[in-house]
Structure 1
Amino acid sequence: MAAVDTLTLLLPERRRFAGQALSPEIGKTLARADRLAAVDAGERAQLLRHFELLPRGWPMAAMTRQLDAGDAAVHAWLRVDPVFVRPDMTGARLMAWGNLGLSMAEAEALVKPLKPMFGDTGFPISVASPERWYLMLPRESKLPIFTSPIDGLGEDLLAHLPEGPEGRRWRALLNEAQILLHNHPRNAERIAAGLPPVNSLWFWGGGVLPDSVRCSAPSVIGDDVELRALAQQAKANAAAADGGDVLVDLRDARDWAMVERSHLLDPLRALGTRYAGIVLDFADGQRWRIARGQGWRFWRRTLTKLDA
C-alpha cells in the first residue's frame, strides 16, 4: 500500500540559518520540491496552520495552566510572566522572558508581596512553574487583547498594554507590581550575582479553555510548552505512532546541518514507504513540500542556501 502520511517540520525563520550551507543532497531535493504559496509569518500564525481552536482565539494561559496544573476548566486565566525590562529614554524594553533561570523558591519569594495586591482585585496570583505565573479570574471576565511576549521582545512594554479604561486598570496594576518587584531583596541578590532582575510582569494569553482543539496531525513531537498545551487539548500523541501524519517542532533549531542529519535524511529515504510527503514550514511563512516523483525536475538549479 502506498504511503499517504505527511511529516511536517516546524522551523524558525530562515534568517536563523543565515550563511549556513545546504548539503548537495538537500539543496537538490529542495530545488526540485514544490514551493508552496507564502502564508502569514509569525509563530502564532505558524501554529494556527496546524491547530484549529473553537471558538477562535488564543487563550494560551488557560491551556498552559491545564498542562501545568490540570485545574483550568472552571475559571478564566491570564499569564503574568516574570520578565526583565531595561529602561531607556522612551520607556522600558522587554529584554528577557522565559530564560531568567529562576528557581521555584525564587519565584515563590518574588510572588509573595504580589499576592495581596492582586488578591485585593479578585485576581489571585499563583506560580505553576518558575517562569509561568498565572492570575485566576472569573470565567465571565472581559479581558483586552495582550501581546504575546515572543512578539514583544526588544519592544516597549507599555506600548503593548491596551488603551482606554480597561487598559488603565492593567497599567495601574503593572505599575504597582513593578514597585514591589523593584524593592524585592531577591532582585538585589540577583543583580549582585550578575543575573537579570525580575523587574516587571508581562500580561498575555487571557481567556478560558477552548471548547475544542483539532490538530492536523495525530502525533505532535516537541518540548515547547505552548505546543504541548495545544497538543494536550487536541489529544495528540506525544510520540510518533506507527501510522498517521506527524508534526515535529524544530523552532529552536539554529544549526541547519543538525536539522538535515537528525530530521531530514532518514525521512527522505522513507518517502513512499512511511511518508507520502515532507513539508518544511518556516516561521517566516515560506514552505516546501517534498514528495516522490519530483526528481524529473532535473533542470532546476541546486539550492545552496535557504534564502537563495
Structure 2
Amino acid sequence: MQIHLLIPGLLWPAATLLGPASGLALDGLAALLGRGRRLVREFEPYDRQLARLFGLEGGGLPLGMLRRLGETDAAAPPPGSHWLCADPVNLSFAREHLLLYAFADGELAMDEANTLVTALNDVFADLGRFEVCTPTRWYLRLDKPTRATLYPLDDVIGRPVKHFLPEGEDARLWQRTMNEAQIVLHNHAASRAREDAGLRAVNSLWLWGAGEVETAPLAPAKAVQATDPLSLGFARAAGVPASAPDPASALRQDTLVVLDALRKPAQQLDLDAWRDGLQAIERNWFAPLAAAVQNGQLKTLRLSAPSDRGTLEVEVRSTDRWKFWRKPHAFDVLLKSIAPAPTELPTAPPPTHPDTDR
C-alpha cells in the first residue's frame, strides 16, 4: 500500500540564518527525511506536476475547466463548456515594475466579489459570463473557446506582469480584455471603498487556464484526497473517488493526498500562517505516517514538495526501518541546503511554457 503526499508550499521561498521552521517540533518529518531517499529536482510548476500525475502533459492544459469542475458548492459545468479562471488580483508598482499579488482567503467578502463581477458582466457580455464560486476564485464561461497562451496565476504572483501577458492566436483580445477590466475594477465604488478603508483594492483580473481536454485524465491512485478545487477537478475528470484528507482512510488503500494549506502562506510570505500550517501537517500526517512506515503498515510513502526553489522528492519504504544508521534529518537543515529562490526581479519569465507548447 502506497501514499503519495503532494505538498506545495512546504519549502519556504527564502532561506534565512535563523530558519523559517526553527523551534518547531517536527520529529515525524525529520524521521521521514532521514530514512528516505531525497533529491531536489529542477523547478517545475505545481499545476504541471499535478497534471503529470494524472497523465496529462504538454501545453494547453484545461486548468480553468478542471478547477471549475472541482468547485464543491456550485453547479457542475455543462459538458463541452469552455472556462477561464478569472481571479481577482491587486497590481502595484515596485520600483519600475508592475507586480501582481493574489488575495488571501478571507481578505475579500462575498458581497464585494459579487458586486464587482456584476460590473464585469455588464461590460464583457460579448465574451461570455463571469461567475463567483468563492471571493477569491472567479471564472469566465466563454461563448467560444480560445487558443491563447495564458499563464497560470501561481507563475505570476510577485513578478512583473509584463513578462506574462497573453500570447498566441487571441493574444490581443485577452490583453485588451485585461486592460479594460483593470479600468472597470479600479474605478468601481467597491474598490474605492477598500482603498479608503486602507485595504488592498481589487484593481485587476488574472485570466488563465485556457485549453480543452483532448484525453481524459488517468487516476494516479485508487483514491484522491484533497480540498483544493484543481485537484478535485482532476480527480472527478479521471473518475476516481475524491474526499477530504484523512490519514486513517489514506492508510487503507493507495492514495494521492494533496495538502494545499501551505501554498498561499508561502506565496504571500506569511510566516506565522506557514508555521501554524506546518505544525498541523506534522501532527496530522508526518508523525502518523512515520509511525506507519516504522511498524510496516505503510509500504511506500512518497513526498513531493514543488516550489520556486525546485521540487523536493522523498521516498520512504517500509524496509528502510531496518536501516538504523539513517538518522533523522532536521527540516531547517534541509531548507538551508537548498538554493533559495532568486531575490532579484526576473528579466524573463520562468520556463513554464516551453516553445513547443505554444
Give secondary structure in 2 for the equivalent of 1:44. helix
Q: Which residue of 2 aligns with 1:38?
A: 41
Change beyond 3 A, Cα 1:98–1:215:
farther
Change beyond 3 A, Cα 1:275–1:39:
farther
Alignment of 1:246-265 (within 5 A): 246-253=255-262, 254-255=274-275, 256-265=278-287
- Offset at 1:202? 0.2
CA distance, structure 1, for counterparts of residue 66 and residue 105 of structure 2: 20
Change beyond 3 A, Cα 1:63–1:47:
same
Q: Following superposition, which runs of at least 4 residues in structure 1 exceed 6 angstroms of deviation?
A: none
| 1:167 paired to 2:189 | no
Give secondary structure in 2 for the equivalent of 1:178. helix
Q: Which residue of 2 aligns with 1:64?
A: 67
The one-character-per-residue Cα deviations of 1:231-282 (angstroms, maximum 9, x if unpaired) are 2222323153673212222242434444332212222333365421111211
| 1:133 paired to 2:138 | yes
Q: Which residue of 2 aligns with 1:189?
A: 193
Q: Which residue of 2 aligns with 1:200?
A: 204
Q: Which residue of 2 aligns with 1:124?
A: 129
Give secondary structure in 2 for the equivalent of 1:180. helix
Change beyond 3 A, Cα 1:146–1:296:
same
Task: Give the number of equivalent residue pairs.
Answer: 302
Q: Which residue of 1 aligns with 2:302?
A: 279
Give, as a single letter, the amino acid of the residue that structure 2 aligns with 1:245: D
CA distance, structure 2, for counterparts of residue 267 and residue 43 of structure 1: 23
CA distance, structure 2, for counterparts of residue 273 and residue 176 of structure 1: 59
Give, as a single letter, the amino acid of the residue that structure 2 aligns with 1:48: A
Change beyond 3 A, Cα 1:214–1:185:
same
Q: Contact (CA 8 Å) 2:60, 2:212: kept in 1 or not?
A: no
The one-character-per-residue Cα deviations of 1:108-165 (angstroms, maximum 9, x if unpaired) are 2112232232113x433233333222222245x3321111111111112232112476
Q: 1:289 aligns with which of 293, 299, 315?
A: 315
Q: Which residue of 1 aligns with 2:51?
A: 48
Change beyond 3 A, Cα 1:65–1:42:
closer
- Offset at 1:34? 2.5
Unmatched runs of 5 consecutive residues or more in structure 2? 14-18, 263-273, 338-358
CA distance, structure 2, for counterparts of residue 298 and residue 162 of structure 1: 53
Q: Contact (CA 8 Å) 1:178, 1:201: kept in 2 or not?
A: yes
CA distance, structure 2, for counterparts of residue 32 and residue 67 of structure 1: 35
Change beyond 3 A, Cα 1:258–1:66:
closer
Larger Rg: 1
Q: Which residue of 2 aligns with 1:114?
A: 120
CA distance, structure 2, for counterparts of residue 113 and residue 37 of structure 1: 45
The one-character-per-residue Cα deviations of 1:17-47 (angstroms, maximum 9, x if unpaired) are 7444675665355323233573653312331
Q: Contact (CA 8 Å) 2:232, 2:242: kept in 1 or not?
A: no
Moved more, 103-112 or 147-156: 103-112
Give secondary structure in 2 for the equivalent of 1:270. helix
Normalising by structure 2, report the TM-score: 0.74
Q: Contact (CA 8 Å) 2:223, 2:253: kept in 1 or not?
A: yes
Change beyond 3 A, Cα 1:164–1:150:
closer
Q: Contact (CA 8 Å) 1:9, 1:249: kept in 2 or not?
A: yes
| 1:10 paired to 2:6 | yes
CA distance, structure 1, for counterparts of residue 167 and residue 251 of structure 2: 50
Change beyond 3 A, Cα 1:9–1:241:
closer
Q: 2:107 aligns with which of 101, 104, 114?
A: 101
* Identity between Structure 1 and Structure 2 (%): 29
Give, as a single letter, the amino acid of the residue that structure 1 aligns with 2:302: V
CA distance, structure 1, for counterparts of residue 163 and residue 41 of structure 2: 29
Unmatched runs of 5 consecutive residues or more in structure 1? none
Q: Contact (CA 8 Å) 2:150, 2:167: kept in 1 or not?
A: no
Normalising by structure 1, report the TM-score: 0.84
